[in-house]
Amino acid sequence: MSCKHRALIIYTRAVKGTSSNLASSRVELQCASLEGHEGPHHDPSRGEDWEDRGDQLTHILREAEEEPEGG
């Protein structure tokens, strides 16, 4: 059975003249490893690894400058 853990990367952009950030896009990840695996979760289609934070869905915030093309 495959791992049920997922992650959501939320890319943010700063709002000029404020201390606020707004979400510009998001990328959903699904771990492709077997359930109960050791080590970080991995989504091979996106080339992303992440550590779980105790939930089946982990939220990851990133600056928009790190956003992949077509993101």
Domain of 43? 6-66
What pLDDT is recorded for position 71?
52
What pLDDT is recorded for position 52?
84
Tens digits of pLDDT across the chain (71 residues): 789 999 999 999 988 899 888 888 999 999 999 999 999 999 999 999 999 877 789 999 998 876 666 55
What pLDDT is recorded for position 15?
87
32 in a structural domain: yes
> What is the SS3 assignment for 21?
strand
What pLDDT is recorded for position 1?
78
Angstrom distances, CA of residue 14 to CA of 11, 17, 21, 29: 10, 9, 4, 24
Domain tally, the chain: 1
Residues forming beta bridges with residue 25, ordered by sequence position: 11
Q: Which of 65, 69, 48, 70 is nearest to 11 (CA)?
A: 65
1 in a structural domain: no
71 in a structural domain: no
62 in a structural domain: yes
44 in a structural domain: yes
